A and B are shown apart, each in its own frame.
Chain A
């Protein structure tokens, strides 16, 4: 009979441990942040106009050669404004950042970059969100990290602030640089 009781106690403990594990997992896991389906896949082919000059066409080939952050932003996106100074700082430090202006209109976006400075080396205009759709974008801001061969290695959904950069993105960027 005592063996049965031992098994019972063990079962209860196992249940408690499982529950605690799940709770911890749940707390540390933001359910609104989806894993990207594109990690490890090549950045999609595209051909978009430049935000700076509508005559200039930017394609996937322009992204190759060095690791970069690709930031999806828009003037209607409130948290993009919070993120913008951080991107400016990173650009000053020499981090390569390209921008995709997502579902926006050009004059507004151009004014934004004049007023708040332009951290982007390439400014891709995506007024209809077609490139965004191919990238699985579901809300700005989103930031992709590509290696020098143009493979998507990481995606971050939400505002890149100093802490996110230091703790999450900077190590990955360094890794991509070292490859």
Chain B
């Protein structure tokens, strides 16, 4: 029983410390807290690459959260804060990269591929339709043949 109580106590201690590491920042306004949440979710951890800095436990993500908090308290805008981090860690830290020459294919590549696909489908459909029409035209009788046909039919009436 004693052991169990110890274990329980330890578990609770661990839980509370884990809780504390998530949210230790005291924001002066709710608006700032909201902006903080948006920023830490939009920025990517350079060390553990498929996590944003809100989810990452890497020391560098911690440093980045600290900086964001500090800069929010100093009254900097979101653009200023993101710019500050991009200057140091590159566009890589943004989950929403800016549109520039290096990211053009990223932004417009999928749309271009889709357009190319539609174009291909259109070409195939038009071509097929044309060949069907040509075949139909071949099967139809010319006016000369039509008169001959009606003549033949008349004979057997």
- Chain A residues proximal to chain B, CB less than 8 Å: 4, 31-32, 34-38, 103, 129, 133-139
Contact = CB atoms under 8 A, between A and B. Distances in A.
Contact of A133 (B49, B63, B86, B127): B63
A133 B59 contact: no
B49 A36 contact: no
Nearest to A32: B49
B96 interface: no
A103 B59 contact: yes
A4 B126 CA distance: 13
Contacts of A4: 127
Contacts of B49: 31-32
B37 to A, nearest CB: 22
Nearest 4 CB-CB pairs, A to B? A37-B90, A138-B46, A136-B88, A138-B60
Contacts, number: 37
A129 B127 contact: no
A139 B87 contact: no
Interface centre among B58, B59, B63, B127 (most CB of A within 10 A): B63
A139 B49 CA distance: 13
B88 A139 contact: no
B89 interface: yes
Contacts of B91: 37
Given A138-B46, A138-B47, A36 B90 contact: yes
Contacts of A35: 90, 92
Given A34-B89, A37-B88, A133-B63, 14 more contacts: A34-B46, A34-B92, A35-B90, A36-B90, A37-B86, A37-B89, A37-B90, A37-B91, A129-B59, A134-B88, A136-B89, A138-B58, A138-B89, A139-B47
